[in-house]
Structures are given as C-alpha cells and as structure tokens.
Structure 1
Amino acid sequence: TRNQTIPVLCHSYLGNPLADGGLNFLALGDWGGLPLPPYTSPLERNTACSMGAIAKKNSVDWILSLGDNFYYDGVTNDTDPRFQETFESIFTSRSLFVPWFIIAGNHDHHGNVTAQISYSKRSPRWNFPDYYYSRFFEVPDERGESRASLHLITLDTVMLCGLPKGGGDAIVGVRGEYVSKLTCCQSACCSLSATYLLVAGHYPVWSVAEHGPTKCLLSHLRPLLIRYQVTAYLSGHDHCLQYLQEPGLPVGYVISGAGTFMNPSLEHIADVPPGSLRFHFADIEGLGGFVHGTATVQNLTFFYIDGRGKRIFSVTLPPRRPNLN
C-alpha cells in the first residue's frame, strides 16, 4: 500500500519555541504500529520523530496516549515484545522520556489491558494506574510561580460503551456496571475549581470521520462536559486530526488519532451540529500527526502538528469560570 512505501523523514520542528512559563503536553492517539515486522508504520515513526523535536523545543512536561496503543489485538502480558517493538524503540528522543498517561482503546481491549496497566511497573514513563484515573497539574507563570491549575480526568470509553460493531453508530448504550464511573466523573467535575479541566477517552463524542459520533457518550457524557464547563474533551479512534466546538457552548472536542494511519473519510459530516467542525486533517502527505497543548495563566492553546513537524491549526480556549454553588 501507499502507506508502506512512505519514507521516514525526521524533520526539525518548524515552529519557534513558545514563551517561558506554562505547562506543555502532547496528545497522541491510535499510534499502535502493526502486528507484523517491523511492528510499526512509517507514519508512526515520522510522528514520533516530530514529537521528539517539539518536546525538546518546548520542554514538554507529559504526554497523553489516547488509546489503540497496540494494533490490532493489544498485548498478551506485561513482557510482550510489542512494548519494545512499537513503543520503547520508536519514541526514543530523550525529550519524550517524560510521564506518558495511558488510556486503553478498543484494539487494546482485544488483548490484555491489565497487562498494559502492569507495564507501569516496568517502564518509568508508562503511567497507567487503572482504567479510570485523574491527575492534577500546577500551571506556572513566567517566573515559575503557580498561578493556575489543570486537571485531567481519563475514562475508559470501551468499558462504558462497549466494542464497536461496524462504526460509532453501533455504540448506543452505556453499560450498566460502569454507570458509577460516570458518577465519579461528575463528582470530580462538580467539586473542582481548576483553571482548566480536560476529560479524555478513546471514543470521540463528535466526529465527522469514519466512526462518527458516539451515541453512548452523546447521551451520558456530553451533558456532564457542558454542565461543568469542561475545557476540552480529547479522544482518538478516528484516524485523523479534528477540532469541533458546538456554537455557543464552551467545550472543545480535540481528536488526535493520526499516530499510525490516516483515513480521509468524511462520511459523518452531516451528523455533527452545523458550524461545529472547525478543522479536519487526514492528508497522508502529512505523515501522521498529534496535538501539542500549552496552558498558561491566560489561556489554553492546542496546536495541531503533522508528522513533518508543521503547525497546521491552532485554537485557544479561555480559563474556566465554573459555578460551584
């Protein structure tokens, strides 16, 4: 295929480093290589190289993995060679030796997700403590003083909504045994006064691409995101880069699923609210892609980066002003 003949081109990052201060992170989904030698793809290798360049330029603090970490059937145990072949030997830049916060995707659930959780004990940068967890970060100003905060809440959307059966439209009902996890998410959102609140899962809420919107999340998660003024919901699953935001509502929907493959499908473009799609990128010539987030006291900006290291879109979101009464 065309994907197999793409050369690996390690480009220097084309943008200038950002100003001092703030919190920098990367978000990458669907980067899980291939199940046969060389256990990776040219898009993954180019994306990893560009991630290393931007991480070095901007002193990235952590990386968020949005699921589908190992195609096509996850791993078998915590000594599975795929950890080395698809992760450790690909993301080799020293700038990428920061905490990686891991979420499971549907392909990970085809295998042994508890083995990925257990691998946290073997790799100092692989942080996957549970199917659901959260992390709190201080956001420093240019003098290094903490003036703002960011809270990350991760969800296992496969456990919530099930495995897809031919696309996102088949994922319609939340699984009853995991309703309590959404209740925990609601409690965390409600009680939190963080400057920026991010929620992350593998399945998208809104998407114009092959899988489309996830009805289960539209019904059960979207109302919470709006009610508690979540800054952004980050996901993967569709193999492209997207940004969506419903007109008049505060939540940004960040899709970063271009880590291994690109799929140009727009088959669900009529299934998202009019005016909500702000950006879509699935050009294979871009050699993959990821998202760079930078939070400052003033705002949170997402930069979309292709596998050549080029900024192709950005969006800036304001601090939250949650009503905690």
Structure 2
Amino acid sequence: MRLLVVLIITQCLVYSSAVLQSFDHAPNQDGSLSFLVIGDWGRNGAYNQSQVAFQMGVVGEQLDIDFVISTGDNFYDNGLKGIDDSSFHHSFTKIYTAPSLQKQWYNVLGNHDYRGDVEAQLSPVLSNLDNRWFCSRSYIVNAEFVEFFFVDTTPFVDKYFTQPEDHVYDWRGIRPRNHYISNLLKDLDMSLKQSNAKWKIVVGHHTIRSAGHHGDTEELVNHLLPILEANNIDLYMNGHDHCLQHISSLNSEIQFLTSGGGSKSWGGDVSWWKPEEMKFYYDGQGFMSVHVIETELNIAFYDVFGNVLHKWNTSKQLHSTL
C-alpha cells in the first residue's frame, strides 16, 4: 500500500523568513518512485491536449506512476476566473480521466495562470472538486531519497511588471516584489542546504536554459541558477517553451528538462544551441516520465503517439554505512 498524503491548504503561502512548507509523499515499498511531467496544457482538450492525456494514461499504467507534476500554464489563456470556472472541469478533470492518472497532481503556476484569479488555483475548493489537485506558490515534496522543490518563477520576470501589454496580472500576495523574491530565494537556499535527499529536483514554470521560443530566462539565470549550482541539484524541470528538450550543463551536473508540450506546440521555433549541451529537442506535443531509485534515475520523453523520443539515465553510489 502506498502512503499518499492528503494535502489540505487553508490559505495561500505568504513568504516570510520561514522555510518553505514541506509535504511528505512516501516512495513505494520497493524503494522506487515513478511520475509523469506535463506542462502548458489547459485548453479544453484542444491542440491535441486530449491525445497527449490519453498517452499519459497508457504510459502511466505501464510505469504504475505515483503522481503527476505540472510545470505550469495550467489554464489558457488567462488562468481561471474564479473557483467556479468551468475550465477546471473541461481542461483538467474531464481530460485526464485514465485510471493511472487518478493520483496526486503537484502543480506550479505559470505566467498565463497569473493572468487570472491566482488564488482560485490555490484554493482548497478545487481540491474538494477533484482531490488530485494541489497547487501552491512554492513548496517542497519530500519522498525520502528524493526531494522536490517547487518554485514560483513568474514574479522573477521583469517584463510582466514593466511591459504588461494588454494583460492584467494578479499580483496579490507578491508585492512588495523584491521582498517576496528575496525571501523565496533565501528559503529555497536554506531548504536545499538542509536536505539530506540523494536526489534534488527543482520544478519551475520558466526556462533557465532553452533553445525554444522564449530562450533563457535571464532573471532566473542571474538569481536562481547560482543557488541551484551551489546546492548541487540534479534536475531542473520546467515548461513555458512549448516543446520537449534536454540540455546538460558544462558548468555543473544539472540537467535542464523542458516538458511544455501538453497542448499547443510551436513547430520549427528553435534556436541554435551548443551541440555538446543539447541532448534532445522536439518541437511537438508530448510529456516526460521519470523513474528513480536511490542509486539510479531514468527519464524518457514521449510524443503525442506515445513513441519514446529520448532516454537518459544517471546513477549514484549508495551512502556508505561505515
């Protein structure tokens, strides 16, 4: 029997000097953990969202997954209008219907989510409507030998504040912005330093390294990446660019993994990248799987037909007991 902690959030997290709120998700009895990663999806089933969801169900059953991670932009184009917005049903509950996907979903917010009522996505009302749903701004999921650090990346990006164009962003709980970001970075750094997990995985919406349409997010390169490098994380997983990609780092062991192919993709929109770093790029729809045990981590990318496009694995030695 797996232990799946029921997450109940009574209010959105407001950052102070406290460390990030942490939740437990026990691994399987055999010491393994399997999950899917999907991003940029919520379009009422359109742009092949339903087809991607179907293949996620197939792969989810094959891998007997424990949960799903969403890398943000959960509802297009402008988030949810409120807790009673029917898009929650038509873009989430009605789409991801496979038995294997009836597991916990750990979600982060994307920039499109910030264009709507952010607090609706954070509300426990949605969890009551569909108990798979969990969304918070930034938080930690502790699965013993692997620890996940979910980071709210949208407030880092300057242009959403200085060049909002025709979009209105919901900044409740964010201002003063500099205070919010400073405390978040401090809390993240402290939590990473205190972590005893064998594997450290950070999840955010925005890219750090990307050959896609948006490219690198400079604010994250300048402020978040140094913390990730200093704390020797293993994976940074994101969405935002509507593609699938795997970029390695020449400066650290970090692998940058984009899973933003949940619905509408940007075919042909790719920039040149250093071949020694670019392991894989696909400009269509799809998703990613991760299987991890204490000594080994495996990832795979799938297209809308369920074909495996790219695999990668790495290993670590067991901790010595001497």
TM-score tier after normalising by the smaller chain length: 0.7 to 0.9
- Once the two structures are superposed, what CA deviation does each residue of 1:104-162 show, in whole Å capped at 9, x if it has no partner? 1000000011101112343210011x211110114xxxxxxxxxx11001011002325
CA distance in 2, matches of 1:41, 1:260: 7
Distance 1:120 1:47, change over 3 A: same
In the alignment, the residues of structure 2 paired with residue 296 and residue 321 of structure 1 have an alpha-carbon distance, to the nearest angstrom, of 11
Which of these residues, 110, 116, 130, is aligned with residue 123 of structure 1?
Answer: 130
User: For each residue in 1:252-277, what CA deviation from the matched residue of structure 2 results, as whole angstroms up to 9, or x when unmatched?
Assistant: 0010000011113455435xx56211
Match among 294, 305, 309 for residue 308 of structure 1: 305
Equivalent runs, 1:1-20 vs 2, <5 Å: none
In the comparison of the two structures, how many residue pairs are matched?
274
Cα deviation, 1:221-272, whole Å, max 9, x if unaligned, reads 11111111101000000000000011252000010000011113455435xx
2:92 pairs with 1:87: yes
Contact 2:238–2:260 (CA<8 Å) still a contact in 1? Answer: yes
The corresponding residue for 2:240 is 237
Contact 1:233 1:253 in 2 (8 A): yes
Q: Is the 8 A contact 1:158 1:202 kept in 2?
A: yes
Alignment partner, residue 198 of structure 1:
201
| Aligned 1:101-120 pairs, distance under 5 A | 101-118=106-123, 119-120=126-127
For residues 266 and 316 of structure 2, what CA distance do their matches in structure 1 show? 33
| SS of corresponding position for 1:80 | coil
1:171 match: none
Alignment of 1:1-325 (within 5 A): 22-33=32-43, 39-118=44-123, 119-128=126-135, 130-138=136-144, 149-162=145-158, 164=160, 175-177=177-179, 178-270=181-273, 275-283=276-284, 288-319=285-316
**Cα gap change, 1:320/1:183 in structure 2, threshold over 3 Å: closer, same or farther?**
farther
Q: Is the 8 A contact 2:39 2:259 kept in 1?
A: yes
Aligned 8 A contact 2:269 2:283 in 1 = no
Closer, same or farther in 2 for the Cα pair 1:117/1:320, shift >3 Å?
farther
Contact preservation (8 Å) 1:209, 1:264? no
SS where residue 269 of structure 1 aligns?
Answer: coil
Q: Distance in 1 between matches of 2:105 and 2:159?
A: 24
CA distance in 1, matches of 2:218, 2:275: 17
Runs (5+) with no aligned partner, structure 2: 1-29, 165-175
Once the two structures are aligned, what percentage of the paired residues are identical? Answer: 28
TM-score normalised per structure 1: 0.80
Deviations 1:2-46 (Å, cap 9, x if unpaired)?
Answer: xxxxxxxxxxxxxxxxxx76210000000111xxxxx32141111
In structure 1, C-alpha distance between the alignment counterparts of 2:51 and 2:187, rounded to whole Å? 38
**When the two structures are superposed, what TM-score results if normalisation uses the length of structure 2?**
0.80
TM-aligned CA distance change 1:120 to 1:102, over 3 Å: same
Q: 2:47–2:264: 8 Å Cα contact kept in structure 1?
A: no
CA RMSD of aligned residues (A): 2.1
